[in-house]
Structure 1
Amino acid sequence: MSPRKRDTAPLYHPKFWPMWFGLGIFWLLNLLPWPIKRALATVLGTFIYYVIPVRRRVTLINLRLAFPDLSESDRRRLARAHYRSLALGLFETCAAWWSPLNRLPPFRIIGREHFEKAAAAGKGALVVTAHLTLLEMGARIINEQIEFNALYRDPNNRVIAWIMRRNRERHLKTAIPFEDLRALLRTLKNGGLVWYAPDQGKKTKMSEVLPFFGEPAITNVATSRIAQMSGCRVVPYFARRLPDGSYELEAFPAWENFPSGDHSADAMRVNHFIEEQVKRAPEQYFWVHKRYKRRGEGYPDVYRD
């Protein structure tokens, strides 16, 4: 198979115009009041779930594996709620990129002192969290309160990648490419706080097959390795959207005995933390991701038709 050619067309090329047009529509929708945006998200999420079922099957498989005790009707109800959460996440992303602070919804931060303590220690911190539908909103709110850096990986769509990188660099102190280990270690050793979500497994030398919600999944075991190499602290953090439309962002005390010397056990500690937090608002986790793929020999391909 020949290697895939790299797309070098300029971003103003006509083939990108539909994407720019779509972004323009969302820029305009971002000017609407939040009650209207939430109502639109409910309609949009429901429409996509039933009419354009992008990854609906993946979502239902993930929920079946993660919540085997739920009835099929409850899992489908949760999947519909997840699609509405994804749609609202689009509006939240637009607000995080383009709105001033006074136009963001109300929020509160619990445990801010844990960020401040980690920053004051001068050794840097990995702020460990997960991929949530409100990812961009949570990152924007936190960065308005305390200076943050973040790891990121460009999406395949070049227009989205450009605008995402541009806006993250505008709101964050530094946006660090996910594969740039040297930049990450340098930032940590300079005392920076780095947003880090290790929950989307990729089969590499830094991964193992470990339980996630009780089901074997490719798991990133690099968290404790990075902490070991840099001497940084590891501060768990999670964000959630509340029923009243406000946001709650919670930081927890830096983990003691981390790294422990057992990278697998440390990765399981990360997994258990994410599981506990996801259960508090399960519709807000990123269930459309194929979390249980490419596990290796001896494990079935749960996403095969």
Structure 2
Amino acid sequence: MAFVFQFLSRWPLWLLHRLGTVCGWLVYVLSPGYRKRLQDHARQAGVHEADRRNAVAAAGRMVMELPRLWLGALVPVMWDGAHHIEQALAEQRGIIFLTPHLGSFEVTAQAYASRFGSSGAPMTVLYRPARQLWLRRIIEASRARPGLHTAPANLAGVKQLIKALRSGQCVGLLPDQVPPEGQGAWVPFFGRDAYTMTLAARLAQQTGARLVLAWGERLPAGAGYKVCVRPYELVLSLDLTEATAQINAAMEQVIRELPSQYLWGYARYKQPRRPDLAVGQESKKE
């Protein structure tokens, strides 16, 4: 499989995205459970049929572009709102980037590292190692780049995030990812309660870091990506559950800007699994 990734990493984006469109629709047609989940979640959010259909293809494109993003040559990136990052960095309070499963969230961290990370404010992203050794090696190698650090999903990783923020650096989180049991709260997401990580809110409360919304829009015809940045302008509640609900509402606003590239097939409303790395329980001691 590593050879396949190496081979695909040399393909142009437009070809990878075309292949991804085919793969996305094949999975949609051949998997009744996935198809129903995507349809139910998109309807729950009031997404139009055209955007639902585009989201099917976008899911496949997200998978097929990974070899290029991880192993291939740099992809074209344009920015919308980069001045918000410059302003936040000038405050030296630390930045928490909140990125939903929208567009290419992989390219968002890479683009930040390339433009801002080398200036003394690297980004640290939380990750859970892949089970397959070959895939784990590829991912770790792809993220070992200037301006981009990784932190394991355990107590040591949470401490690493806190240290980075208190040093005026940045961290990147996917707040719409379902955390293990004990590490989240049940709060509304598009009108239905979803188990949501409290880590983003806890980090903001403990460090006073700025919250910034960011996502990577996939441009048509393989033209590259547009990294969009928006400040989070509301005052975050001191109540952890309310603060988590506020972050969910912010994610809804971002997703509504580009519903055709959100992973509606992600099992967002599933029951949380039991923790295997004890992030939630141990981090309460912080």
Q: Do these two structures clear the TM 0.5 threshold for a shared fold by scoring above it?
A: yes
Note if 1:39 corresponds to 2:12: no
1:166 to 141, 144, 150: 141
Counterpart amino acid of residue 26 in structure 1? F
- The answer on whether the counterparts of 1:92 and 1:136 sit within 8 Å (CA) in structure 2 is no
2:246 to 265, 269, 273: 269
Note if 1:209 corresponds to 2:186: yes
Note if 1:108 corresponds to 2:83: no
- The answer on whether the counterparts of 2:102 and 2:215 sit within 8 Å (CA) in structure 1 is no
Matched residue, 2:282: none
Q: Which ranges of structure 2 fall in alignment gaps of 5 or more residues?
A: 118-122, 273-286
- The answer on whether the counterparts of 2:13 and 2:224 sit within 8 Å (CA) in structure 1 is no
Matched residue, 2:280: none
Counterpart amino acid of residue 114 in structure 1? H
Matched residue, 1:248: 226
- The answer on whether the counterparts of 2:93 and 2:166 sit within 8 Å (CA) in structure 1 is yes
CA–CA separation in structure 2 for the residues paired with 1:83 and 1:27: 25
CA–CA separation in structure 1 for the residues paired with 2:253 and 2:235: 20
Q: Aligned to 1:55, what secondary structure does the other structure show?
A: helix
- The answer on whether the counterparts of 1:140 and 1:171 sit within 8 Å (CA) in structure 2 is no
2:167 to 183, 187, 190: 190
**Structure 1 residues 143 and 92: alpha-carbon distance in aligned structure 2, compared to 1, 3 A threshold:** farther
- The answer on whether the counterparts of 2:116 and 2:147 sit within 8 Å (CA) in structure 1 is no
Counterpart amino acid of residue 249 in structure 2? H
**Structure 1 residues 157 and 288: alpha-carbon distance in aligned structure 2, compared to 1, 3 A threshold:** farther
Matched residue, 1:15: none
Matched residue, 1:122: 92
Q: Which ranges of structure 1 fall in alignment gaps of 5 or more residues?
A: 1-19, 296-305
Cα deviation digits, residues 266-289 of structure 1 (max 9, x gap):
222211111112122223222232
**Structure 1 residues 267 and 117: alpha-carbon distance in aligned structure 2, compared to 1, 3 A threshold:** same
- The answer on whether the counterparts of 2:37 and 2:267 sit within 8 Å (CA) in structure 1 is yes
Counterpart amino acid of residue 40 in structure 1? L
Matched residue, 1:12: none
Matched residue, 2:127: 152
* Structure 1 residue 203: Cα displacement: 5.0
Matched residue, 2:284: none
- The more displaced of 214-223 and 28-37 is 28-37
Q: Aligned to 1:236, what secondary structure does the other structure show?
A: strand
Q: Over alpha carbons, which structure has the higher Rg?
A: 1
Q: Percent identity?
A: 27
- The answer on whether the counterparts of 2:9 and 2:69 sit within 8 Å (CA) in structure 1 is no
Matched residue, 2:276: none
How many residue pairs were aligned? 265
Counterpart amino acid of residue 60 in structure 1? Q
Counterpart amino acid of residue 287 in structure 1? W
Q: List, as ranges, runs of 4+ consecutive aligned residues in structure 1 with deviation greater than 4 Å.
A: 77-80
Task: State the TM-score, normalizing by the size of structure 1.
Answer: 0.77
CA–CA separation in structure 1 for the residues paired with 2:200 and 2:263: 20
Cα deviation digits, residues 194-252 of structure 1 (max 9, x gap):
11111112354442211100111112233222112122221222221233534221212
Counterpart amino acid of residue 58 in structure 1? R
1:88 to 53, 61, 65: 61
Q: Aligned to 2:65, what secondary structure does the other structure show?
A: helix
